[in-house]
């Protein structure tokens, strides 16, 4: 049941996002769009409540409950970022908005990577806190090994994201040098008088 609910929440996330953006750019109803997009967090609340009820009714904690915690952590930490990311691209494609800009080089790219890593670290921390809450909730009588395994996976998520962001700090991507064979737009051909 939990896996089905996670799938429903994920599909619901994208359906609500599509409906909100369709209202914003297709129907030109920005306030209604915001109201629809604010329904997104309700999906996570429903998932959290159903997971807690499932555990309260005596279900053995397993990988499904861990996955629910990870999904909630992702949605809380990265949900708004995902909505904004899609919104900018839809605005550009269908409403004449500015071209999406993700820094590619130098310090700006490093800062971007660290901000993204911070979001992932927050997602993992939220998931780990929810998992720890479930471990305490189940108590010593239940089998909590699968929940602890998910906590270890979240430590891996944190480590991988810090390593990726750190690599951009240590080895920043540099702007490629212009090709001397190709004239740029600002070069004018020399003319002799």
The predicted pLDDT at position 184 comes to: 57
User: Is the pTM above the cut of 0.85?
Assistant: no
- Mean pLDDT calculated for residue range 167-177: 89
- Each domain of the chain, given as residue ranges in start order, spans 2-170
Q: How confident is the model at residue 159 (pLDDT cuts 50, 70, 90)?
A: very high
Q: What are 101-138's pLDDT values in tens digits?
A: 999 999 999 999 999 999 999 999 999 999 999 888 88
Q: What is the mean pLDDT of the chain?
A: 88
Other Cβ atoms closer than 10 A to 171: 9
């Amino acid at each position: 049941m939990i896996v089905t609910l996670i799938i429903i929440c994920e599909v619901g996330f994208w359906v609500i996002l599509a409906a909100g953006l369709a209202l914003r750019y297709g129907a030109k109803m920005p306030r209604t769009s915001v109201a629809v997009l604010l329904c997104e967090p309700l999906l996570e609340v429903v998932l959290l409540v159903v997971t807690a009820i499932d555990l309260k009714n005596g279900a053995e904690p397993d990988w499904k409950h861990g996955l629910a915690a990870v999904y909630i952590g992702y949605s809380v930490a990265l949900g708004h970022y995902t909505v904004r990311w899609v919104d900018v691209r839809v605005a550009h494609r269908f409403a004449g908005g500015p071209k999406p800009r993700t820094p590619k080089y130098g310090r700006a790219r490093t800062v971007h990577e660290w901000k993204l890593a911070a979001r992932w670290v927050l997602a993992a921390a939220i998931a780990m806190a929810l998992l720890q809450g479930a471990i305490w909730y189940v108590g010593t009588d239940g089998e909590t090994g699968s929940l602890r395994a998910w906590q270890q996976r979240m430590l891996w998520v944190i480590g991988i994201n810090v390593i990726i962001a750190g690599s951009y700090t240590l080895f920043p991507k540099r702007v490629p040098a212009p090709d001397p064979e190709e004239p740029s737009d600002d070069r004018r051909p020399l003319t002799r008088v």
